[in-house]
Amino acid sequence: MKTSFLITLVCLYLITSLAGKAQVTPKKYSHNKDTINFAGSHIITYAPLGFIYRIRFRYEYVALKKFSIGAQVTNYSAYYPLPGWQAVAIGRYYLSNRPTPLGFYLMAQAGLAYHHATAYEGPFNSYIPGSYNQYAPYTSSHEVSSLGLMYGIGIGHQETLGKKQIWILDTYIGIRGFKMNKNLDDVYILNKDYGKGLFSGPQFIKNQFTDSGVFFGSEFGVGGFINIGINIGYRF
């Protein structure tokens, strides 16, 4: 968690520095955002609400009247039992008559996903005498990993903030699928969120790559099939 927080601070500093070097106002500025020509704009956004579990940055380029292209990189923290990363290319088609990239859009993405974990072996369903809900110690452990393709679709809404229309607020929801070279769902991993209060001691749970989090497989892990988020960023 500390590592993710430090990386987040460094990335925010880099974005702030880049924003400071960019133009203060758009080339074609108007107080009415719906009359601005955003063609050729670059957008960098960051997902601030998920920094405990992941660090995510997205780049978007307004290429055509209704279409933008970009890329997204996500690092999932080792704080969660299912760490790894994603690197994907993104295409967006904007639905409204407002200037791209404002309003509702459809999004498609495809790229690589990588998941790694420490797999444990032992009598995990037995209890240690005299302890409270504590699983028996593991007998051995080894590292496992899987690399594959990620693809998904979604819908979202993007808006500018402020008088200069250079700050960006992006919200979206979608679904994703994966084609990994190894199925790691049968290995046991250590639940790092466990071990506080009455439920003390290590707990080993079965790895579930495509159901990697609460909220029915949300994106707290690499393999979450629900893709949700709120991003903030800067346009230049």
With pLDDT > 70 as the criterion, what percentage of the chain qualifies?
A: 66
Among 200, 224, 231, 233, residue whose Cα is nearest residue 86: 224
Mean pLDDT of 174-199: 76
Among 107-111, 175-179, 186-190, 219-223, the range with the most confident prediction by mean pLDDT is 107-111
C-alpha 60/C-alpha 79 separation (Å) is 29
pLDDT at 154: 95
C-alpha 144/C-alpha 2 separation (Å) is 24
With pLDDT > 90 as the criterion, what percentage of the chain qualifies?
A: 27
- Which one has a higher pLDDT value, 227 or 148? 148
Q: Are 195 and 202 within 8 A, CB to CB?
A: yes
Sorting pLDDT into bands at 50, 70 and 90, what band is 204?
confident
pLDDT at 49: 76
Sorting pLDDT into bands at 50, 70 and 90, what band is 164?
confident
What is this structure's pTM? 0.73
Q: What is the mean pLDDT of the chain?
A: 76
**pLDDT, tens digit (0-9, with 9 covering 90-100), for 85-109:** 999 999 999 998 888 888 899 999 9
C-alpha 79/C-alpha 43 separation (Å) is 29
Dihedral Cα 211, 217, 219, 224, nearest 10 deg: 40
pLDDT at 88: 95
pLDDT at 205: 76
**pLDDT, tens digit (0-9, with 9 covering 90-100), for 25-61:** 444 444 555 556 677 888 899 988 776 778 899 999 9
The CA-atom distances, in angstroms, between 136 and each of 36, 108, 132, 143 are: 64, 45, 11, 20
The token pair at 21 is 């070097």
Total domain count for the chain? 1
Mean pLDDT of 122-147: 70
The token pair at 136 is 């028996």
Mean pLDDT of 108-132: 77
pLDDT at 174: 92
pLDDT at 25: 40
Q: Is 143 exposed, middle or buried (0-12, 13-18, 19+ CB in 10 A)?
A: exposed
pLDDT at 193: 58
Q: Are 111 and 148 within 8 A, CB to CB?
A: no
Q: CATH no. for residue 52?
A: 2.40.160.20
DSSP notation for 126-177: -B-TTSSS-BPPPSEEEEEEEEEEEEEEEEEEEEEETTTT-EEEEEEEEEEE
Owning domain of residue 89: 2-235
